[in-house]
Amino acid sequence: MTTPPGQRKRLLALIHIAKKQFGMDEDGYRDFLEAQTGKRSAGKMNLSELNQVFQGFEARGFKVTGETGLKGEGSRVKGERRLSPKTRDKDPEKKTPADKVRALWIECWKAGKVKSRYDDSLQAYCKRVTKVERVEWLNHAQARQMIKILEDMLKVPEREAEVSNEE
């Protein structure tokens, strides 16, 4: 039986996060592992045993948050790429030019104009175009420049507009 890529790594990460959140010392942690699976090392456990340990932590009250979850777009384990933040729930009067840039970036991705919808790709493109490190730091003139470029990109026929954003 094959496991989805990264599932074992995610479970190990979640187990170690739970250990830290419960403030377990090394001996207490190893005793907990042994009580759950008969093994004192999470690294030597198979996927089924890791699931047992994880369920044991859940039974003690551990809750998965968006940053550490196993599923969903908001779930990340250290090292995974971050999607652009969602802005659709914001009050329209509170939306910033950076929100408009992000929305256009995602529209460009959906239209096949850019290869990556990830936030780090948007930031790299912003830096390349405006020489400003982050979209949030753009002044109004720079934000207008980015908005115009992205809107123009959406108007160009697909073949000509593709931009490489993998950095």
Distance, CA of 81 to CA of 152 (rounded, Å):
27
Distance CA 167, CA 161 (A): 18
Amino acid 124: pLDDT: 93
Q: State the pLDDT at residue 5.
A: 61
CB 83 within 8 A of CB 27: no
Task: Using 50 as the pLDDT threshold, list the residues of the chain that sit under it.
Answer: 1-2, 67-78, 160-161, 167
For 33-75, the pLDDT digits (tens) are: 999 999 999 989 999 999 999 998 888 888 877 544 444 444 4
What are the residue boundaries of the structural domains of the chain, listed by start? 1-80, 92-161
